[in-house]
Structure 1
Amino acid sequence: MVQTGTDIATDWQQPEGNFDYVKREVMIPMRDGVKLHTVIMVPKGAHDLPILLERTPYNASGFVPNNSPHMKDAVWSGNRDWADGSYILVWQDIRGKYGSEGDYVMTRPPMGPLNPEKTDDTTDAYDTIDWLVKNLDQSNGRVGMIGSSYDGWTVTMALLDPHPALKVAAPESPMVDGWMGDDWFHYGAFRQVNLDYFTGQTTAAGSGPSVPREGYDDYSNFLKAGSAGAYAEAHGFKQLPWWNRLSAHPAYDAFWQYQAVDRMLVANPSKIPTIWLQGFWDQEDIYGAVHAWEALKKAGYEENNHLVIGPWWHSQINREGRTMGPFTWNGDTTANFRRNWLIPFFNQHLRGTKMDEPLPTAMIYDPAEDHWDHFADWPGAKTLTPLYLQADKGLAFQQAAAGEDSYVSDPAKPVPYLSRPIPQENDRWRTWLVQDQRFVTDRQDVVSYRTPVLTKAVKLEGAPVADIFARTTGTDGDFVVKVIDVYPPTYPDQPELGGYQLPIAMDIFRGRYRNSFADPSPIPAGEVQEYKFRLPTVNYTVKPGHRIMVQIQSSLFPLYDRNPQKYVDNIFYAKPDDYRKATVSIVHGPGRSAVLLPVARE
């Protein structure tokens, strides 16, 4: 038999008689006529079911990666607990990404000074929900929204003007303030490893490429390139509108202030029951959930907002949660939270099924005690207790005698954030915040202060604050401060943890912003200045037999761009001869350098 045409079926229809769901792909129209690609999974025989919606720039079709007849097997792992036939599951590509029409704008600002259009992600969420409840006859007309990271940001945007059918929300590790402490900067220091994210997101409507590498070790790759701007523009970033906007705004000016979601939430508070959720060691968005919840609480909107912090890396809530680096928890902490708290919370507000136990105001894991703590009010510590830097690299709750410790910070030899080599595809990225800090403790450009061995437990409940007094021979500089739990030299329960230096809170602060985040100024060389900044929130018990350590250094490379240590207007475009060694002196004494700890009890 001779074949003369194509072997491709003209209108292939897969038999789905044995499927326990119906999958639809639709283009939902927005108020301006733009249509957004949406994937819908409806359990067969469904009626009166709630809708779970996630809006994403990461390919809605990819949330259903398997062509299985069973809903639980078809969806990705993060949705399996929801795919039990009791929810209609919906994923949508945001504007301009993958199957959706329109223009993509990175974390599109709301309508206003930075967005002259008549639509934003708030209106798109509203219009999507409106279409879903009117066109899915199997639904009960109630919608919950969920999502992590960028998808968590889309949830927060929906909360600014929620559709009446939106009844519950869970922003997981949401991007809330990209300059203060989420993806793009931390207190002005640029997280340059995100340059791969920029090309992945903004060079194609689908998935773009990462930045090509000449070598295996990113420490060497970034060091050789010079400034973050030189690295970016050598790889064509001038073609990317998002890069051009970001690099033109290194300070916390109106560009960033108008995008601070915590401020927007307070200005437009919702009554939607909401779980603000993140990981204790979230290596990407450790700032957003906590600060959004705190802002709402401070403004008097605590009643419908809950804070949850688990012993997790970024977005681990949607995966298995038995371990974090070398640490093993009491069971699968993420599965247990999803099944015992998150889904029952959604069921309560979407079905009217009362929870066995109400979700507390704050539910925060204590990794040292290996259990959840429930709080009617948070933080547990109402005041901060200074832990003072002492002579001979000591630490104590008593004020210190006057003195100082100096080190030379050399931009040509920055302190790595991980032990080298640091490849682009880095399996340790998820857990770098729990890396044993002994790999840098003995460096000459890292100063480490230790308490004596503790004779009783110190329970921390809240956010530590670094309050460092220092002088430098440069006119700019960064300060990295780490609070560390130092394990005993021997640890019979897990011998490999003997002497382990576990970071429990760390962050970086760019010295030019010591007086104002919006208006940077040179550091007066040789003059003592105060650098005071908040560290990530902790709920942690430092046990007897352990020590508390505070480490201070001036770089965390190549995660953060190098400070040239000479003041320049825009560090993105510092020249090679701007990078200079500086001698940094940490000053201690009465009322001087300390880390202010949220000590609940000791």
Structure 2
Amino acid sequence: MRNHLLPLLLTTALAANAALAQTPDASMIQLGSDIPAKWKAPEEAYNYVRREVMIPMRDGVKLHTVIMVPNGARELPMLLERTPYDAEGFAQKGPLNLRDAVRSANREWADDGYILVYQDIRGKYGSEGKYVMTRPPIGPLNTTKTDDTTDAWDTIEWLTKNVKESNQRVGMIGSSYDGWTVTMALRDPHPALKVAAPESPMVDGWMGDDWFHYGAFRQVNLDYFSGQTSKTGKGSTVPRPGADDYQTFLDAGTAGNWARQHGFDQLGFWNRLAAHPSYDAFWQLQAVDKMMTAKPSSVPTMWLQGLWDQEDMYGAITAWEALKAKGKAGNNHLVMGPWYHSQINRAAERLGPLKWNGDTAADFRRDVLIPFFNTYLKDRKPAEPLAPVMIFNAANKQWDKFADWPGTTQLTPLYLQADSGLAFQAAPAGEDSYVSDPAKPVPFLAPPVSFADHDRWTTWLLQDQRAVATRTDVLSYQTPVLTAPVTLQGAPMADIFAKTTGTDGDFVVKLIDVFPPFVAEQPEMGGYQLAISQDIFRGRYRQSFEHPTAIPAGVVQEYKFRLPTVNYVFKPGHRIMVQIQSSQFPLYDRNPQTFVPNIFFAKPQDFQKATISVQRGAAGASSVLLPVVPASTALK
């Protein structure tokens, strides 16, 4: 009987033991949240310390700031960038190495030993306060007691007192809007701000930077307005009914109508811009070049921009020229590289169809820009002093250095000729005509066009102009094949005499290098029409940028305007070409060619065809004035 009970006793004992084994001890019991009150990640594996602070401004508003300090830092300088584009994205969390945590443009700075500081400007992303697009300085347009000049001053004051690993010296850098924040800091620089580099800064949004070019509105910025001003963080682009922005904006009629359809009446900056289509006090009081010359800074400054900058080609050189005219060339340097907008901060082995000998941006940052900053932040003089001016020569694929700029103050007319010719001699009187139809505007890129296509947008200035050269509403003139080089150093001027059957109109002038039919080194460049300088001018401003006037129909008028700066050689075997047209759509809004008070709100019936007659010779000697030098003035 005992044998029969044994299995039962064993089973009972095992069940009891199992029950004891399943009884939880204290370490098994869930008493609270699995998320600790404050998590502190181990930092031993990192070669830097990442700090996030809220820096107080003089009015009590606090600005979100990310500070990246290398481990063991002592007496290191600080590199400050103030941005509306999210400081968190400039210094991401997670990577163990500082150079991996920052943007590619800052890796050389990390390698060289810098404390890197990124700050959200007032009212954007992590910062408190109210955001105002390129906030005007304290004065008639800003009745508060703060602006981006005071915010930069207060930030640097805090950094020098609270970042103990620093040597209390600060350099500022930034591109585009961030370049604008640098210029604002230079209006009244903190004593600790020792050096600065505004890269492609927004200097005058009406004359030639982002918003307008000589009065023609750049519609590509409408998405930027919604992205920047619809939210504290990143807003979205406006949804499209189709994939072609050429057709989308053509269907909208006007920029004002497009904006109204998409709720832009809620956006303060759009409302102010649309109410001021001319160069009145609203724009004049925000022109940075005028601000800088009113109170020139003594901070050593490098003004940087790209030769094919599709967004801010106007600002850097305009500010530098204004300061030079005020006798401040000694502490201001000009650099123009073979780059699109902000490509100085990216890889730059090539630009569109053009190929260089290495990465022109990375090499420049390492060999020129950082040594320039080190001179004033580390007392480390470069082996070779920085030249007053450095401008890349795309034809020769080399940097040229100059003691002064431009290479010449004399401009040589290149005259339009009969039979689509160009020559340095004046031509007999005559005219060439074309019909400009607002219903069929000349595209700035071959449709379909998408403003969101980064590759096409960043290189549109270099696109082959053969795409429009044979249109009947584009006039193309070219020289015979060159037998000797023609070297340009400076800013060309368009000087067009024309009459129109309308009462308003735009003029687009392009200076083009026509490549030989066959290029052995790069066959795809055979016959390529490369625009090296081009711009648009709104005819109503031919007499005054502030006070537009109707164009008298059928009466010859002069349209004279500056084209972007060049340092270029037209080589033997090439031709020089000039193209003239009346639209570049949808980048620029359409001119109705009927004078109306505000083109943003033109009516459908205002858009009319017009016959444009460009004059040649005699009293109407249309030309492009070229800064020709007999030989390069570059330093040897």
Task: Kindly provide the amino acid, as one letter, of the partner of residue 398 in structure 1.
Answer: Q
Shift of residue 268, structure 1, vs aligned partner: 1.0
Which amino acid in the other structure matches residue 546 of structure 2? A
Match of 1:581 among 606, 609, 612: 609
Structure 1 residue 560, shift from structure 2 partner:
0.3
1:120 to 147, 152, 163: 147
- Superposition TM-score, scaled by structure 2 size: 0.94
Alignment of 1:389 onto 2:416? yes
Matched, 1:601 2:623: no
Superposed counterparts of 1:408-447, under 5 Å? 408-426=435-453, 427-447=455-475
- Range moving further from structure 2, 506-515 or 329-338: 329-338
Matches within 5 A, 1:131-146: 131-146=158-173
What displacement does 1:315 show?
A: 0.2
| One-letter amino acid matched to 2:336 | I
Residue of structure 2 equivalent to 1:541: 569
Rg bigger for which structure? 2
Indicate yes or no: 2:426 matched with 1:399: yes
User: SS at the partner of 1:303?
Assistant: helix
Taking a change above 3 Å as real, the CA distance of residues 587 and 42 of structure 1, as seen in their structure-2 partners, is same
**2:540 maps to what in 1?**
512
1:47-90 CA distance string (max 9 Å, x none): 10000000000000100135111001111111111112611000
Which of 61, 69, 72 is 2:99 aligned to? 72
Question: Equivalent of 2:579, from 551, 554, 557?
Answer: 551
Report the counterpart of residue 217 of structure 2 in structure 1: 190
| Separation in 2, partners of 1:185, 1:425 | 19
AA of the residue aligned to 1:321: A
Match of residue 318 from structure 1: 345
For residues 171-201 of structure 1, the C-alpha deviation after alignment (integer angstroms, 9 at most, x for no partner) is: 0000000000000000000001100000000
**1:146–1:172 Cα contact (<8 Å) kept:** yes
Report the more deviating stretch, 12-21 or 506-515. 12-21
Distance between the aligned counterparts of 1:115 and 1:155, measured in 2? Answer: 19
* Cα deviation, residue 9, structure 1: 4.0
> Does 2:564 match 1:565?
no
- Once the two structures are superposed, residues 86-121 of structure 1 have per-residue CA deviations (whole angstroms, 9 ceiling, x without a partner) of 110000000000000000000000000100000000
Does residue 178 in structure 1 map to residue 177 in structure 2?
no
SS of the residue 1:398 aligns to: coil
Write out aligned runs for 1:144-293 (5 A).
144-293=171-320
Partner of 1:459 in structure 2? 487
Contact kept in structure 1, 2:446 and 2:467, CA below 8 Å: yes
Could you tell me how far apart the structure 2 residues matched to 1:74 and 1:338 are? Answer: 18
2: CA distance between counterparts of 1:98 and 1:401? 62
Residue identity opposite 1:598 in structure 2: P
- Greater shift, 573-582 or 77-86, is seen at 77-86
SS in 1 for 2:110: coil
The answer to whether the 8 Å contact 1:366/1:539 transfers is yes
**How far did residue 321 of structure 1 move?**
1.0
Cα 1:250–1:45 change in 2 (3 A) is same
Give structure 2 stretches of 5+ with no counterpart: 1-27, 632-636
Match of 1:368 in 2: 395
| Aligned residue number for residue 468 of structure 1 | 496
TM-score of the pair, normalised by structure 1: 0.99
Q: Could you list the per-position Cα deviations for residues 492-546 of structure 1 after superposition, in whole angstroms to 9, with x for gaps in the alignment?
A: 1100000000000000000000000000000000000000000000000010000
The alpha carbon displacement at 1:4 in A equals 7.6
Equivalent residue, structure 1, for 2:24 = none
Counterpart CA distance in 1 for 2:345 and 2:526 is 31
What CA distance in whole angstroms lies between the structure 2 residues aligned with 1:4 and 1:550? 79
8 A contact 2:451–2:457 mirrored in 1: no
- How many residue pairs were aligned? 602
2:108 match: secondary structure: coil
Aligned 8 A contact 2:513 2:532 in 1 = yes
8 Å contact from structure 1 (residues 192, 560) kept in 2: yes
Q: 2:516 pairs with 473, 488, 491, which one?
A: 488
**Helix, strand or coil for the counterpart of 2:171?**
strand
Q: Which digits, 9 at most, give the CA deviation of each residue in 1:218-261, with x for residues without a partner?
A: 00000000000000110000000100000000000000000000
Name the % identity. 70
1:26 aligns with 2:53: yes
Q: Is the 8 A contact 1:66 1:75 kept in 2?
A: no
Q: Compute the displacement of 1:5 (Å).
A: 5.5
Q: Match for 1:179: what amino acid?
A: W
Relative distance call for 1:586 and 1:105 in structure 2 (3 A) is same
**What amino acid sits opposite 2:555 in the alignment?**
E
Instruction: Show CA shifts across 1:404-428 (max 9, x none).
Output: 0000000000000011111232121
